[in-house]
Amino acid sequence: MELIIALIVGLCAGLHTSTWGMYKDAPYEGFTWPKYFRSTVIGALAAIGVVMFTDLDVSNAGGLLVLYAYTYVIERAAIEYWKTFLRVQDQSKYFIPMQFSFRGNVVANNAVRIAAGAAYLAGVVLVVYGVHTLQKMNFSPGGGLMVVLILGSIGGWISAFGGAWKDAPKEGFETLKFFRSPLMALGYALLLANFTESYLFIVFGALGLTIGTIETYKTFFFPSKPRGKFAGKEIQFEEWLTRRKKFVPLYVAIWVAVIVTTIVAFVQPHQGLI
């Protein structure tokens, strides 16, 4: 039963990212079902893996919310890592390169790109190990709330620095945009800390919810504004400006499910870091 629950949660997280990704990209790149369901499949596998290899309790609403958030960040990390360091693709269709770049210029040397990817992965692993080690050391100065205030924005900082590295050479550096992810991640960390005592779930689950929120804002609140990576590029598939709207009810339904789950989680008996 736990694996079935994990499958459903993972599908929801994956469909969420599949949908906003399609909504912003399809008018410029076209649409294919395999590409659309790519994130959906990875999300499902990630959620099942989390339930199988951790002690996360998904029998209550709080556990479901934590699983959704943590699955979201795993899926995003896997896809973005693949796009940045492993996939080789013509980047001329983008204003902001999606492949690893330096000062806005794509690094064409495969060995250098793979080495950079290995270094980046090692850095992320060290951060994960560090957070895990702090929990094993029972790091809790001033109690659980202080832990969240100290560690809660870590995932947001990873996102902020990664985004600045990629976007700033083409778009310029925006202070408010840079601090947006860490501040939002801190807020979501405070939320998740009500339902789990795991530092890793709190820190990186908060990043997952941050990504979902920011992408929703950028994609659906400004649908006529081209995303940064397509700035100045012509729309190639105009029919998808209309067709993509058919996916919006599914996207809204997933958000409603997440919000309702959050409300129920607070109503049910729950225990977390704070």
Residue 142's domain spans which residues?
Answer: 2-101+113-267
Look at residue 223 and give its three-state secondary structure: coil
**Longest Cα separation, the chain:** 56
Number of domains in the chain: 1
What pLDDT, on a 0 to 100 scale, did the predictor assign at position 166?
87
Note whether residue 151 is domain-resident: yes
What pLDDT, on a 0 to 100 scale, did the predictor assign at position 151?
95
Note whether residue 242 is domain-resident: yes
CA nearest neighbour of 210 among 78, 98, 72:
72
Note whether residue 140 is domain-resident: yes
What pLDDT, on a 0 to 100 scale, did the predictor assign at position 176?
86
What pLDDT, on a 0 to 100 scale, did the predictor assign at position 116?
96
What confidence tens digit (pLDDT) does each residue in 40-75 have? 999 999 999 999 999 999 999 999 999 999 999 999
* 223, two tokens: 């649908």
Low-confidence ranges of the chain (pLDDT < 70): none
Note whether residue 107 is domain-resident: no
Note whether residue 129 is domain-resident: yes
Note whether residue 59 is domain-resident: yes
Distances in Å between the Cα of 3 and the Cα atoms of 45, 57, 230, 250, 258 are: 10, 11, 39, 23, 19
Note whether residue 82 is domain-resident: yes
Sign of the alpha-carbon torsion through 202, 205, 206, 207: positive
Rg (CA), the chain: 19
Note whether residue 274 is domain-resident: no
CA nearest neighbour of 46 among 13, 15, 10:
10
